[in-house]
Chain A
Amino acid sequence: MTSPSLESRTTSEAGSKIIYAVLIAGVVVMLYPLVWMFMSSLKPEDEIFTNLSLVPSQATLENYPKGWNFLNAPFSLYFINSFIIAALAIVGNLLSCSITAYVFARLKFRWRNVWFALMLMGLMLPQHVTIIPQYILFNNAHLVNTIVPLILPKFLAVDSFFIFLMVQFIRAIPRELDEAATVDGAGPFRVFVDVILPLCKPALITVSIFTFVWTWNDFFSQLLYLTSGEKLTVPLALRMLSSSTGESTSTWGALFAMSCLSIIPLLLIFFFFQRRLVEGIATTGLKG
C-alpha cells in the first residue's frame, strides 16, 4: 500500500488546486523544446531551418525510416546495445555502491575520513584527463572494443556520486535498528543485508534511474572504447546522424527523429521506477 500522502491531507483545498494548476502550467515550459524537436522531425530536411513555425508546411514521416536505417544496422541494434550496458551498470552500481556506502556511513574504522575524502576527490578531476591513463590500462589488458571498460568500473564502486548519495540516505536511518539487530548477534554484513538494505529502497531506485539514464547518454567513454560498428550505442549512433561539417548532405531530420525515439525507453524506465518510489518506508521500522 502506498504511504499516505503527508502533505495533501492538511493543505487546504484551494492550496492544492493552485499547486496543481502551477504544475500543469509548468509542463508547457518543460515540454516545449521537445515538442519543437518532434515537430522538426516531421519536416523535410530543407524546411527544418528555413520554416521557423512549429507546424511543418508539408508534414512527412520520411525522417523516421531514414534515421532508423541510416547506419549499417537498424537502429534497434543500438537500443539493444545501450540497454545491455545500462542494465549491467545498474546491477554493478546497486551492488557495489550500497555496500561501500554502508561501510562509510555506519562503520567506524581506521582512516575512514581519509578514504571518504579521497573518494570524493575522485569526482573532482575532469574525465578528459583521467580517461587517457584508464584507456592505456584497459588497452594493455586487451579490453578495448569490448564493453568491459564500461561495466567493470560499476562493479568496483567507481561512481562516487552514488556512494555519497547512499551515505546520506543511510545516515537518516535510525541507529537503534542496527543496534537491535546487533544485540541479536548479527555482524556488520548481516546488519547491512537485513536492516539497512530494505530501508534504502528510495535511494536504490534513484541509483537505478540515474545509472540507466547516465549510462544511456554517456558519449565520451563509449566513443573511445567501442569501435566496431555492431557495438555502437545510442549516443554514438545519434552523433553519427548529426551534421557538423556540412561536407555531405545533412541529416538533421533523421537526428531529431531518432532522438525522439531514444527518449522513449528512458521515459518508460523512469515512469516504471518512479512508481516504486511512491512506496515509502514502513512507518515504525523496529519490526523490520
Chain B
Amino acid sequence: MTQELGAEKSQGKSLWVTARDKRAQTNGAAYAMLTPWLIGFFCLTAIPMLASLYLSFTDYSLLSPPEWVGLENYQYMFNGDYRFWPALNVTVFYVFVSVPLATVIALLVALGLNRQLRGVGILRSVYYLPSLLGGSVAVAIMWRELFDQNGLVNNVLGFFGIAGPAWLAVPNSAPWTLVFLHAWQFGSPMVIFLAALKQIPADLYEAAELDGANAVQKFFTLTLPLITPIIFFNVVMQMIVSFQAFTPAFVISNGTGAPLDSTLFYTLYLYIEGFGNFHMGYAAAMAWVLLAIIAALTGFAFLTARFWVFNPDD
C-alpha cells in the first residue's frame, strides 16, 4: 500500500496526505459520487453493449429469437461482403477530411468572435445556426438543390471559370457534399472553443503584455497551449462521432447511399442491414468492428496527447 503511494509520489503527481484511511475515504467518496453514473453505465450502456456483442454471433431478424451462428457474420464481413469495404473507405475518408476541416474553421471563427464587436451575439448565433439543424430533412433538400448540377454551387464556381462536377449524381464527388455539410455545421466545436477561450484568465494576458508580447506571440505562446486540452477534446470527439455519422448520409442520399454506395457511410450500411434486410446480428458485428477501430484510434490519440496537450495538473 505505501509502496504504491511511494511510486506515485516519485512520478511527481500531487497527492492527498499519505494515510490509508484517507485513501479509503477518497475511494468511498469517489464511488459514492459516481453512483448515478455507475447505475447508468451498467443498466443503459454495459448491458446493451454486452447484449449486442452476443447478438453479433447470431442471426437475428428482430422478428424472431436470435440463432447462434458463431463467427459467420465476421467471416462474411471480411470475406464476401463487397459493400463493406467501400462503406468503411468512404467513412474513413469522411472522418480524416471533415474533422480537421471543421476543427480549424471552428477555431478560427471562435477566435474571431471572441471579442467585443457590434452585434457579436448575433454573429455567434448566425454561425451556430447551421448546427442547430441536425439531421433535418429540409436541410437535406436544400443541400441537394445547392449541389445540383445546375445548382448554386456550380453557378458560383462557373463565375470563377471552374466547371463544377455533378456532385451528388456521380460517385466521385458525392462524398464531398457530405464533407462540406459537416464543415458547414462547425458551430458545435466553435461554441466549445469559445467557452475554452473565455476560461483563460485575463491576467495571464495582462502579464504577457507587460512582458511586451504582441498578438501573434500571445496566441502561440499563451492561447494555443492553454486550449490544447479542448483542441484534443474536439478532435477526439469529432472523430468518434464522425465515424458513426448516419443522419447526414441518410437524409442526403434518401437512405440509399447513392450513387453507387458512394455515400453509404458505415453506420448507414449497418442500419440498412439491421433494420432493412433483417440481419441485425450482422449489424451488431459491424458495430463491434467499428468500436474496435474507433477505440484503437482514440487510444492512439490519448497516447500522443502526452506530447502536445498541455496538462495543468502535472
Contacts and interface: CB of A to CB of B under 8 A. Distances in A.
Interface of A: 2-8, 10-11, 15-16, 19-20, 22-24, 26-27, 29-34, 36-37, 52, 95-96, 99-100, 102-103, 107-110, 112, 115, 118-134, 137, 153, 155-158, 161, 163-165, 168-169, 171-175, 179, 187-189, 192, 202-203, 205-206, 209-210, 213-214, 216-217, 219, 238-239, 242, 244, 252, 255-256, 259, 263, 266-267, 270-271, 274-275, 277-281, 283-285
Contact of A274 (B30, B121, B267): B121
Best-buried of A2, A128, A205, A267 by chain B (most CB within 10 Å): A128
A99 B36 contact: yes
Given A206-B195, A255-B137, A126 B290 contact: yes
Contact of B129 (A125, A129, A267): A267
Interface string B12-36: 0011100000000111011101101
A10 B218 contact: yes
B198 A188 contact: no
Contact of A175 (B14, B188, B200): B14
Nearest to B152: A32
A108 B26 contact: yes
How many residues of B sit at the interface, in one of the four size bands? Answer: 35 or more
A82 B56 CA distance: 34
Which of B14, B133, B274, B295: most chain A CB closer than 10 A?
Answer: B133
B145 A283 contact: no
Contacts of B55: 129, 132
B195 A277 contact: yes
Contact of B233 (A37, A165, A175, A263): A165
Contacts of B141: 37, 252
A11 B209 CA distance: 12
Nearest to A203: B195
A163 B45 CA distance: 14
B202 A280 contact: yes
Given A165-B233, A172-B312, A187-B29, A267 B47 contact: no
Nearest to B290: A126
Contacts of B202: 3-4, 6, 280, 283
A19 B108 CA distance: 10
A192 B36 contact: no
Given A10-B218, A103-B34, A256-B138, A244 B254 contact: yes
Given A179-B14, A217-B134, 10 more contacts: A30-B184, A36-B142, A125-B287, A174-B312, A187-B29, A203-B195, A213-B131, A255-B137, A267-B132, A280-B199
A188 B29 contact: yes
A35 B131 CA distance: 15
Interface stretch (B80-88, B157-165, B167-175, B224-232): B224-232
A252 B16 CA distance: 62
Nearest to A199: B199
B123 interface: yes
B121 to A, nearest CB: 6
A119 B243 CA distance: 17
Given A36-B145, A107-B30, A128-B274, A206 B192 contact: yes
Residue in A7, A36, A112, A174 with the greatest tally of chain B CB atoms within 10 Å: A7
Q: Secondary structure at chain A's binding surface: helix, strand, loop or mixed?
A: helix
A172 B209 CA distance: 22
B313 A128 contact: no
B130 interface: yes
A30 B40 contact: no
A107 B137 CA distance: 44
14 contacts: A7-B114, A10-B209, A23-B109, A32-B152, A103-B34, A119-B37, A124-B290, A133-B51, A157-B41, A161-B241, A168-B229, A172-B196, A203-B199, A274-B121
Interface of B: 14-16, 25-27, 29-31, 33-34, 36-37, 39-41, 43-49, 51-52, 55, 62, 109, 111-117, 121-139, 141-143, 145-146, 150, 152, 184, 188, 191-192, 194-196, 198-203, 205, 209, 214-215, 218, 226, 229-230, 232-233, 236-237, 240-241, 243-244, 246-247, 254, 267, 270-271, 274-275, 280, 283-284, 287-288, 290-291, 294-295, 298, 311-313
User: Of A33, A109, A256, A285, which is in contact with the most chain B CB atoms at under 10 Å from its CB?
Assistant: A33
A182 B163 CA distance: 66
A214 B311 CA distance: 30
A267 B122 CA distance: 10
B54 to A, nearest CB: 9
A217 B251 CA distance: 14
Contact of B124 (A123, A217, A239, A274): A274
Contact of A124 (B135, B240, B312): B240
Nearest to A116: B302
Given A172-B226, A188-B30, A158 B44 contact: yes
B291 A188 contact: no
A280 B198 contact: yes
Contact of B113 (A2, A23, A103): A23
A157 B114 contact: no
Contacts of B121: 271, 274-275, 278
Contacts of B15: 108
A159 to B, nearest CB: 9
A109 B26 contact: yes
B17 to A, nearest CB: 9
Contact of A217 (B135, B237, B298): B135
